[in-house]
Chain A
């Protein structure tokens, strides 16, 4: 075991190395690229065995990943945002193949407008694909979750691909001290890849991913996928417990922070949850009974664990770093589903924050806590809100004013060029 300063991307590459992956189909995209550059250097120096192939698109990359996994090798790949969406057809497809491999997604907001900065709309677009999803909040967690993800993907009760998600920039480009497990111990923990019944060999011809006729066989296979994903809940708990025993780091399906005696709770995914932890500490200092719950697993959805952690609270703020247009925060809906029907269920408040990398400040978290308290006093939750300050709006108005002025300038310029006396509107 060694301790190194690693970015989230570096941690992901190290995890692939420790898991002794055989094959890395790749395609560059910010903020993921450092992962494949790191692995590429290791392959090229002969530091690790195996092979990396750069495809010409993510659609191809995910096809190659799935195809290699069902041919019988251990596969690792990584993408982000536009890349994840470009490969979307194949996400659903390779999950249906029951191809067990691990993919890192480095979350980044989706176009349009185009941005490089993070939010969770990319990964949530893959929510129903059949890939399992583990969401990370630290660089250490990226490394450890990736090792756990291989056990999960390859488990005989699961056999599904897994996405390990980390936030762009905040994790991908931020150096944190990361403990790199001893390679022999990590290898023993992950184990050897067992292709089971999915392999391509001359002596054992198989037809994979064939068509079906009619809804009956289709329903059967699709529901089987769902059952496998649900079985992954228990398997995750087992594997995470084993990981904790061997490496001393605990990764239960949901992270609960100072939640037991809390009346109020924040619920968040990803690394911005560490900001809420900070707010919890400061609020606790002044007498609040407040905590944080952060689902690590999004699929399978740890419904019972969320219910157990949250059902007895008075009010909960769900802060979504994503937005489902015409509905609102995705996590809000998911958490509501876990709490529906609970006796004296808590009031749920919904906030959209951190879109496209916008920060969430401590003051905002304190204000949210105040609103929770008021909601309880009033007995009803306020309408959903976007975290956006008056100052930001003023800056936005300035940008719009500049855009407007520039357009007018252009128009006036054209008019005097043409020497036409038309009035402008």
Chain B
């Protein structure tokens, strides 16, 4: 699996298969990742979507997709993939369609679905060894309904339902590990601002069978409260500070694909986002900042001798 068509930046496709002019916000980190992902997956795909920001990609009579699309509900996109995959398999087995009519079934949901409401359907799909690729764009909240906290919201972040001085009291759920514990074909974290790492992972996932998950951290100017032009910088900082570890689960092992040598202090990432402003103003919340930093340090200590 070490063969890759993507050795350096200039190997990346510049097709821009996904159309423009969508109603996503300027600077949407989720859309950035989707553009890159779609260029590699290509148009022989059906995107099975759950309720969220990206539902508005396809609004009658327009779609940015060259391939197919099916909107289901907030909870049941993986079951939609099951129905489509089963039907295509039946049609192929019975030779009612030719092999080149086949489609890659791709589930596309936000974190609210992937970490929460859709988790039962996801778990069922993994149990059944469904051949599908799940793409979760993780903007760390219920973005479409105005960024309330979700199961993916990080500790201390302000959201429209955690607006007190300490922000969100809970902790971001570890979807990567939940998936990996089920021994699926593949799990990877990506981010649109690391396009080479992303491309290699999508390339790998595309050529596998079985349940596969890609979690793309999706910097979200609207929900995270920052200027859209900062998306790339914030995305890069998410990786450099170690907040968003880039890794993959494959053949029963977890491998980190990009280990930040000199991790930057997490403050640099937090400071750029209005949702964490209360950690710095009116005065610095040293205790909370230290807690957040420590949690990141502990994570990386655990994997330092991989």
Residues of B contacting A205 in the complex (Cβ-Cβ under 8 angstroms): 43, 65-68
Residues of B contacting A51 in the complex (Cβ-Cβ under 8 angstroms): 86, 89-90
How near does chain B come to A42, taking the closest CB pair, in angstroms? 16
| Chain B 124-165 per-residue mask, 1 if CB under 8 angstroms from chain A, else 0 | 100110000000000000000000000000000000000000
Q: State whether B76 touches A68 (Cβ < 8 A).
A: no
Known contacts A202-B101, A210-B59: A68-B121 contact under CB 8 Å: no
A317 interface residue per 8 A CB criterion:
no
Known contacts A210-B58, A211-B56: A90-B84 contact under CB 8 Å: no
CA distance A60 to B76 in the complex (A): 6
Q: How large is the interface on A (under 10, 10 to 19, 20 to 34, 35 or more residues)?
A: 35 or more
Residues of B contacting A217 in the complex (Cβ-Cβ under 8 angstroms): 60
CA distance A49 to B95 in the complex (A): 13
B80 interface residue per 8 A CB criterion:
yes
Residue of B nearest to A25 (CB): B83
CA distance A206 to B63 in the complex (A): 9
CA distance A51 to B101 in the complex (A): 20
Q: State whether B79 touches A55 (Cβ < 8 A).
A: yes
Known contacts A53-B128, A207-B68: A64-B59 contact under CB 8 Å: no
Binds B, one of A69-77, A117-125, A140-148, A229-237: A69-77
CA distance A90 to B58 in the complex (A): 19
| Chain B 51-88 per-residue mask, 1 if CB under 8 angstroms from chain A, else 0 | 00001101110010111111111011011111110111
B123 interface residue per 8 A CB criterion:
yes
Residues of A contacting B91 in the complex (Cβ-Cβ under 8 angstroms): 71-73
Residue of B nearest to A53 (CB): B86
Q: State whether B100 touches A67 (Cβ < 8 A).
A: no
- Other-chain residue from B66, B86, B94, B121 in contact with A57 (beta carbon distance below 8 A): B121
Q: State whether B70 touches A208 (Cβ < 8 A).
A: yes
CA distance A64 to B84 in the complex (A): 7
- Other-chain residue from B71, B81, B127, B128 in contact with A209 (beta carbon distance below 8 A): B71
Q: Which of A25, A56, A57, A213 has the most CB of B within 10 A?
A: A56
A295 interface residue per 8 A CB criterion:
no
Q: State whether A203 touches B101 (Cβ < 8 A).
A: yes
- Other-chain residue from B56, B65, B81, B123 in contact with A207 (beta carbon distance below 8 A): B65
Residue of A nearest to B66 (CB): A205
Residues of B contacting A68 in the complex (Cβ-Cβ under 8 angstroms): 83-84, 86-87
Q: State whether A90 touches B59 (Cβ < 8 A).
A: no
Known contacts A49-B94, A200-B103, A202-B101: A23-B86 contact under CB 8 Å: yes
A22 interface residue per 8 A CB criterion:
yes
Residues of A contacting B84 in the complex (Cβ-Cβ under 8 angstroms): 67-68, 71, 200
B120 interface residue per 8 A CB criterion:
yes
CA distance A51 to B48 in the complex (A): 21
Residues of B contacting A322 in the complex (Cβ-Cβ under 8 angstroms): none
Residues of B contacting A208 in the complex (Cβ-Cβ under 8 angstroms): 68-71
Q: State whether B59 touches A212 (Cβ < 8 A).
A: yes
Q: State whether B103 touches A64 (Cβ < 8 A).
A: no
Residues of A contacting B267 in the complex (Cβ-Cβ under 8 angstroms): none
CA distance A210 to B97 in the complex (A): 25
How near does chain B come to A82, taking the closest CB pair, in angstroms? 16
How near does chain A come to B92, taking the closest CB pair, in angstroms? 11
Q: Which of B78, B81, B90, B124 has the most CB of A within 10 A?
A: B90
CA distance A14 to B229 in the complex (A): 62
Q: State whether B89 touches A67 (Cβ < 8 A).
A: no
CA distance A51 to B79 in the complex (A): 15
CA distance A64 to B66 in the complex (A): 23
CA distance A168 to B278 in the complex (A): 59
CA distance A48 to B77 in the complex (A): 29
B44 interface residue per 8 A CB criterion:
yes
Q: State whether B90 touches A50 (Cβ < 8 A).
A: yes
Residue of B nearest to A217 (CB): B60
Residues of B contacting A57 in the complex (Cβ-Cβ under 8 angstroms): 120-121, 124
Q: Which of B83, B87, B91 has the most CB of A within 10 A?
A: B83
How near does chain B come to A222, taking the closest CB pair, in angstroms? 13
A327 interface residue per 8 A CB criterion:
no
Q: State whether B72 touches A67 (Cβ < 8 A).
A: yes
CA distance A73 to B87 in the complex (A): 6
Q: Which of B87, B100, B103 has the most CB of A within 10 A?
A: B87
CA distance A205 to B97 in the complex (A): 15
Residues of A contacting B67 in the complex (Cβ-Cβ under 8 angstroms): 202, 205
Q: State whether A64 touches B58 (Cβ < 8 A).
A: no
How near does chain B come to A209, taking the closest CB pair, in angstroms? 5
B203 interface residue per 8 A CB criterion:
no
B31 interface residue per 8 A CB criterion:
no
Residue of B nearest to A208 (CB): B70
| Chain A 227-261 per-residue mask, 1 if CB under 8 angstroms from chain B, else 0 | 00000000000000000000000000000000000
Q: State whether A90 touches B73 (Cβ < 8 A).
A: yes
| Chain B 179-198 per-residue mask, 1 if CB under 8 angstroms from chain A, else 0 | 00000000000000000000
Residues of B contacting A207 in the complex (Cβ-Cβ under 8 angstroms): 58, 63, 65, 68-70
CA distance A23 to B65 in the complex (A): 28
Extra pairs beyond A22-B94, A61-B79, A200-B84 (18, CB < 8 Å): A23-B83, A23-B86, A56-B124, A59-B73, A59-B75, A60-B79, A64-B80, A67-B80, A67-B83, A72-B96, A89-B75, A201-B97, A203-B100, A205-B68, A207-B68, A207-B69, A209-B71, A212-B60
Interface residues of B (CB under 8 A from A): 43-44, 46, 48, 55-56, 58-60, 63, 65-73, 75-76, 78-84, 86-91, 94, 96-97, 100-103, 120-121, 123-124, 127-128
Mind listing 19 A-B residue pairs with CB under 8 Å?
A25-B82, A55-B82, A57-B120, A60-B76, A60-B124, A67-B84, A67-B87, A68-B86, A71-B88, A90-B72, A93-B73, A201-B101, A203-B100, A207-B58, A208-B69, A209-B70, A210-B58, A210-B69, A211-B58
Shortest Cβ-Cβ A-B pairs, 4 listed: A67-B83, A56-B124, A60-B79, A64-B83
